[in-house]
């Protein structure tokens, strides 16, 4: 049976991937809102787009199908009812409480006839000056008086890794840590419910955005056909991992173990994939700062349907070798073992590689010390520029969501 989602590894030859080209949402970033919107600086949009286009071209030159979130979302709004429902939900989740304002915004968005333009507008947000005679009426608006926006932009959308994640033939439509990123998951909802490529294709949903506990895709790594690794992090709670594991086991998706990696709650390594990625059958990048303190728990199904949880003992290399049935695994350290280089290059996503085939990855060109260590370990590197993209704190893995990878066992 052909299925639109096939992701049973981190490293199988990448066949289809979803990106988002940064758009006007970045032109609406304000210095006072950076922290709230999870950014560290204001990127130069045109340059960020050039860097992103280069990323897409590298993928396409390798024969990988590149789909864009914004196109898929637009194609999902297939009829008037779906479009209306989308606009209404978008406004509800943007906390538009005042009915008069809501009606005005509804009219403004409905008047955009082209679906791609509509989707782009919802991503960019709405400034108060775009609404003639805007006046704060609701308590929320009065409290928000200093902001020039009635609806905030969604600047983190180009990190397509996070708002949903592919797991085998299924997806985990995520509940995000922050309200700014929770609104991003609406696009995934419409894509999987209504896009002709996915709707009606029985795609198991192993997590849903309406769950109360958080989980983000940067924490979800598919280590093999049997084993998933999930970070317990600033963004992902332990309870979410238990929920996801139970769903994966109950629905018999092929996986028989979830390894939970407790990486601590820090902004600088917000997701597991900012400190640890898989680059080959037996090779991983790792940020040395987490290596010693990392705790790993295994979650496996009991015959009763309950989960068996055990703390794993010993070194991480040994735990990985055991679960991946390898004699040993090799760690390639961010900064090549130098503490200063490791801290600097991890901050600029030196450990955040995107594997496009076993032993072949995409990396940011700027992380020269880590990149040399990867090369020395025999990993093939494809470099992409990163002056502007990096300002959002994410690298090649964060900026891509694989929809299909070639099976490693074929």
Applying CB under 6 A, the residues found at the interface with ligand CIR are 38-39, 156, 159, 161-162, 181, 218, 270-271, 273-274, 392-394, 398
Minimum distance between the CB of residue 393 and ligand CIR, rounded to whole angstroms? 4
Task: Report the residue number, 270 or 294, with the smaller CB distance to ligand CIR.
Answer: 270
Asked about 257 being catalytic, the answer comes back as no
Minimum distance between the CB of residue 35 and ligand CIR, rounded to whole angstroms? 10
Asked if 226 contacts 253 with a C-beta cutoff of 8 angstroms, the reply is no
Tokens 């989960």 label which residue?
307
Cα separation values, 323 from 191, 259, 378, Å = 34, 9, 23
Closest-approach residue to ligand CIR (CB): 218
What's the CA gap between 169 and 403, in Å, rounded?
Answer: 9
Task: Report the residue number, 35 or 110, with the smaller CB distance to ligand CIR.
Answer: 35
Task: Report the residue number, 181 or 243, with the smaller CB distance to ligand CIR.
Answer: 181
Task: Report the residue number, 75 or 273, with the smaller CB distance to ligand CIR.
Answer: 273
Tokens 């049935």 label which residue?
325
Minimum distance between the CB of residue 149 and ligand CIR, rounded to whole angstroms? 18
Catalytic residue among 5, 398, 399, 401: 398
Nearest CA-CA partner of 391 in 348, 334, 346, 343 = 348
Asked if 189 contacts 173 with a C-beta cutoff of 8 angstroms, the reply is yes
Minimum distance between the CB of residue 3 and ligand CIR, rounded to whole angstroms? 25
Structure tokens at 101: 């304002």
Task: Report the residue number, 138 or 182, with the smaller CB distance to ligand CIR.
Answer: 182
Give the helix, strand, coil percentages of the chain, each rounded to 5. Answer: 35, 20, 40
| Chain center to CA of 304 | 33
Cα separation values, 410 from 133, 367, 407, Å = 62, 34, 6
Task: Report the residue number, 105 or 229, with the smaller CB distance to ligand CIR.
Answer: 229
Asked if 394 contacts 352 with a C-beta cutoff of 8 angstroms, the reply is yes
Tokens 């994410």 label which residue?
394
Q: What is the full DSSP assignment across 216-280?
A: -GGGEEE-SSSEEEEEESSS--HHHHHHHHHHHHHTT-S--EEEEEE--S-STT-SGGGTEEEEE
What's the CA gap between 271 and 157, in Å, rounded?
Answer: 16
Minimum distance between the CB of residue 291 and ligand CIR, rounded to whole angstroms? 18
Minimum distance between the CB of residue 349 and ligand CIR, rounded to whole angstroms? 8
Minimum distance between the CB of residue 175 and ligand CIR, rounded to whole angstroms? 14
What's the CA gap between 70 and 327, in Å, rounded?
Answer: 43
Task: Report the residue number, 156 or 247, with the smaller CB distance to ligand CIR.
Answer: 156
Active site residues: 398
């Amino acid at each position: 049976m052909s299925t639109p989602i096939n992701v049973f590894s981190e490293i199988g030859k990448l066949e289809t991937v979803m990106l988002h080209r940064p758009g006007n949402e970045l032109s609406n970033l304000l210095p006072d809102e950076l922290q709230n919107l999870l950014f560290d600086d204001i990127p130069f949009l045109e340059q960020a787009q050039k860097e992103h286009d280069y990323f897409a071209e590298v993928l396409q030159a390798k024969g990988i199908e590149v789909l864009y979130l914004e196109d898929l979302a637009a194609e999902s709004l297939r009829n008037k009812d779906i479009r209306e429902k989308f606009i209404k939900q978008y406004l509800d989740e943007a906390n538009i409480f005042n009915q008069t304002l809501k009606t005005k915004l509804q009219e403004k968005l409905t008047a955009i006839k082209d679906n791609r333009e509509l989707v782009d507008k919802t991503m960019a947000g709405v400034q108060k000056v775009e609404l003639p005679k805007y006046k704060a009426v609701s308590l929320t608006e009065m409290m928000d008086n200093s902001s020039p926006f009635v609806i905030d932009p969604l600047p983190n959308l180009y990190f397509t890794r996070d708002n949903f994640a592919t797991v085998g033939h299924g997806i985990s439509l995520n509940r995000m840590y922050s309200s700014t990123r929770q609104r991003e998951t609406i696009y995934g909802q419409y894509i999987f419910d209504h896009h002709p490529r996915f709707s009606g294709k029985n795609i198991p949903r192993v997590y849903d955005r309406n769950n109360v506990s958080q989980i983000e895709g940067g924490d979800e790594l598919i280590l093999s056909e049997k084993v998933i690794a999930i970070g317990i992090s600033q963004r992902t709670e332990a309870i979410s991992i238990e929920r996801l594991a139970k769903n994966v086991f109950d629905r018999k998706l092929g996986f028989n173990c979830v390894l939970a990696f407790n990486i601590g709650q820090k902004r600088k390594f917000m997701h597991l994939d900012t400190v640890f990625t898989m680059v080959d059958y037996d090779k991983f990048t790792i940020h040395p700062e987490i290596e010693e303190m990392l705790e790993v728990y295994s979650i496996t199904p009991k015959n009763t349907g309950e989960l068996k949880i055990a703390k794993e003992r010993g070194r991480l290399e040994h735990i990985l070798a055991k679960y991946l049935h390898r004699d040993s695994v090799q760690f390639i350290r961010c900064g090549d073992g130098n503490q200063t280089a490791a801290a600097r290059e991890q901050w600029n996503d030196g450990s955040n590689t995107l594997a496009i085939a076993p032993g072949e990855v995409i990396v940011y060109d700027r992380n020269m010390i880590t990149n040399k260590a990867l090369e020395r370990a025999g990993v093939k590197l494809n470099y992409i520029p990163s002056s502007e993209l990096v300002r959002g704190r994410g690298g090649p893995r964060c900026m891509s969501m694989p929809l299909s990878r070639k099976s490693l066992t074929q």
